[in-house]
Structure 1
Amino acid sequence: METYTFVAEEKARIDKWMSEQSDWSRSQIQDWIKAGDLLVNGQIVKPNYKLQEGDEIVVTVPDAVELEVLPEDIPLDVVYEDEDVIVVNKARGMVVHPAAGHTSGTLVNALLYHCDDLSGINGVKRPGIVHRIDKDTTGLLMVAKNDVAHESLASQLKDRKIKREYIALVHGEVAHELGTIEAPIGRDTNDRQRMTVTDKNAKEAITHFRLLERYKDFTLVECKLETGRTHQIRVHMRYIGHPLAGDPKYGPRRTIQLNGQALHAATLGFFHPRTNEWLEFEAKLPADFEAELAKLDKIEKTR
């Protein structure tokens, strides 16, 4: 277990203030308060305790119970595979790695069944996972089969050498043929499950977009990631007034009949970690995405 100490800088409800100072959710903090793992000035308090300036908060985080991640015979759309790397075309609805609420049926469970070796850099819950795409985002994902490959691919991501292009259907008519959104992204202090454009505890985020097709009330765009923040495309397109169609977290309720956001990782390119050869892959839009596009009325063709 680990112990963390904070000193209150303002008067505020303890669970809200603590969630703003950390990556912990309010519900997690409330659980620790109830279990006596969070003390204020050495005393047990209630979850609605109002902090005073100078209060000392000590949190003792219990050791995590490690999940047992088991291989599962789940079909995979493998686009490329060799002794170092696997590239898969992930289906909508599949979580990338086990987490609270998703301990099975994930891409990692499927990968463990599919192959004997995955890199161990990210531990037992995320073996081989170099980058992620959201549960309801479809498309290409690269996975490392050994630590050397993992380090190479992670370094390429950090140095912005990986090519990642997405196709997204967004609400409204995007005015410009080309554009760049450069706006920092951080966690939404009012909802820890959401990200937002903010200057508080935020990281640089850059998305380039190109218009592909105009429809009545919608626009199809290609988005190219320069950085890779959580929910980046979803947050950035909402920020400029064009949230993704079908997005339950960042978009309007009334939208297309798609089980999740209309976002597809269509192109992925990287230097092979062993040969340094440039590899580039493309994945067609999934059938449900194509079916929704077919229902829309085109305004003009731009590609």
Structure 2
Amino acid sequence: MNKRTKRPETGSAKRPSPPAKSYKVQEAAELLPFLISNLKGEGRNSIKSMLARGQISVDGQAQTVYNYALKPGQQVTVSKEKIQAPPRLVGLSIIYEDDHLLVVNKEPGLLSIATEQEKELTAYRQLMDHVKRENPANRVFIVHRLDRDTSGVMMFAKSEAVQQELQNHWTEAVKERSYIALVEGEVKKAEGTISSWLKESKTLKMYSSPYPGDGQHAVTHYKRLQANRHFTLLEVRLETGRKNQIRVHMQDLGHPIVGDKKYRSKSKEIGRLGLHAFVLSFEHPVTREVLRFESPIPRAFLNPFRNGMQAGDD
């Protein structure tokens, strides 16, 4: 016997909202003209009202500005109801996103990914939530990490295949990777290279082995940007990417990174670790386009030089 579905009484239940519609941006355009061209049957004033009510989003972010500049590859979504703004990212901001990659600017104090001992909020967890809002099946994958107290540019993959492609060809893919380091004391040489073999102690602290070939080979190049008798600002370029490499090599140089108590720094001048991932340039693993991202030098790193004293000043 067929069961009849009882119809709800008038006003007792809400009709389900029509599904949102998404449109892929193929070429650069302003938001309002793009909507007028894609939303057939909707007048200009109607579309303006939808914008004002927060029914239009670009890559998940509600937009109300008529002349918002759209870029190829972005997704414009039109909802019949006001779009709920997604939770604000804490300690990081997205500076680039496509179907394959996410590039973010991480603030100091945020873990890249949790360990078994640390279950707190991480960049990885927040970005996982971010991509799942578009599709619950979406995921992100760690490509490289920044220490908790290091800030700057960091990249994530959106598929395991892209992650493996980048990690397996990291040396060839990365065209430029540099950091800004604020270190203790005046570095006399304008530039130099530090090479050593890194090992990890039983207490999980990295150190340079006194024996060649004993550990992982690590090479760090540095260039002096500013200096006075108490501090030096360096641009540091990695030839290899080992755990805590810059921090160990700055200690080896006799100029530990400011705020790096683990590697014998005594200064608390800026209230944080003086290490910042400044530039990351790489060949896109899918499009093969060379992309370059730069995160501005934190203002706190420049404070010790506000008095105008440069290297060699008395």
TM-score with structure 2 length normalisation?
0.64
Distance in 2 (CA, whole Å) between partners of 1:106 and 1:72 is 14
Aligned counterpart for 1:284 among listed residues 278, 291, 296: 296
Distance 2:98 2:207 in 1: 38
Distance in 1 between residues matched to 2:238 and 2:176, nearest whole Å: 8
Residue 204 in structure 1 maps to residue 217 in structure 2: yes
Structure 2 counterpart SS, 1:205: strand
Q: Is the 8 A contact 2:233 2:301 kept in 1?
A: no
1:298 equivalent in alignment to 2:312: no
Match of 2:174 among 149, 161, 184: 161
Residues 285 and 266 from structure 1, CA distance in 2 versus in 1: closer, same or farther, beyond 3 angstroms?
same
> In structure 2, how many angstroms separate the alpha carbons of the residues matched to 1:88 and 1:179?
30
CA contact (8 A) 1:180 1:209 kept: yes
CA contact (8 A) 1:207 1:227 kept: yes
Say how many residue pairs are matched.
Answer: 221
Q: Does 1:78 align with 2:90?
A: no
Asked if 1:88 is matched to 2:99, the reply is no
Q: Is the 8 A contact 1:172 1:242 kept in 2?
A: yes
1:293 positional shift = 3.5
Say whether the 8 Å CA contact 1:168–1:221 is kept in structure 2. Answer: yes
1:115 deviates by 1.1
Q: Find the counterpart in structure 2 of residue 238 from structure 1.
A: 251
**Structure 1 position 269 matched with structure 2 position 281:** yes
Higher mean displacement: 176-185 or 151-160: 151-160
Q: Which has the larger displacement, 145-154 or 262-271?
A: 145-154
Residue 159 of structure 1, CA deviation: 4.3
Gaps of 5+ in 1: 1-70, 118-123
| Deviation, structure 1 residue 116 | 2.6
Q: Tell me if 1:229 matches 2:242.
A: yes
| Distance in 2, Cα, partners of 1:162 & 1:116 | 31
Partners of 2:171 and 2:230 lie apart in 1 by: 37
After TM superposition, give the deviation of residue 72 of structure 1 in Å. Answer: 7.9
| Corresponding residue number in structure 1 for 2:48 | none
Cα distance 1:153–1:181, how it changes in 2: closer, same or farther (>3 A)?
Answer: same
How far apart are the structure 2 equivalents of 1:156 and 1:242? 32
Partner of 1:114: 130
SS at match of 2:304: helix
**Structure 1 residues 296 and 171: alpha-carbon distance in aligned structure 2, compared to 1, 3 A threshold:** farther
> Which of 157, 161, 164 lines up with 1:151 in the alignment?
164
Question: Once superposed, what is the RMSD of the aligned Cα atoms?
Answer: 2.6
* Shift, 1:254, TM fit: 3.6
Q: What residue number does 2:206 align with?
A: 195
Counterpart selection for 1:104 from 107, 111, 120: 120
Q: What per-residue deviation string (whole Å, max 9, x for no partner) do you get for residues 60-105 of structure 1? A: xxxxxxxxxxx98633311111000111010100000011332121
Q: Where in structure 1 do 4 or more consecutive aligned residues deviate above 3 Å? A: 71-76, 158-162, 287-290, 292-297
Taking the aligned partners of 1:169 and 1:222, their CA distance within structure 2 comes to 9
217-226 or 249-258: which moved more?
Answer: 249-258
**3-state SS, counterpart of residue 93 of structure 1:** coil
Query: Who is 1:139 aligned against?
Result: 152
Aligned mates of 1:293, 1:114 — CA distance in 2? 38
In our comparison, the structure showing a higher alpha carbon Rg is 2
**Residues 198-241 of structure 1: CA deviation (Å, up to 9, x unaligned):** 13851010001111011231111000001111100000010011
Matching residue's letter, 2:265:
P
CA contact (8 A) 2:199 2:216 kept: yes
Matches of 2:223 and 2:167, distance apart in 1:
26
**Distance in 2, Cα, partners of 1:82 & 1:99:** 28
The SS at the match of 1:181 is strand
State the 1:109 CA deviation.
Answer: 1.2
| Residue equivalent to 1:35 | none
Find the aligned partners of 1:83 and 1:185 in 2 and give their Cα distance: 36
Structure 2 CA distance for partners of 1:101 and 1:294, relative to 1, 3 Å? farther
Q: Is the 8 A contact 1:170 1:242 kept in 2?
A: yes
Query: 3-state SS of the aligned residue for 1:204?
Result: strand
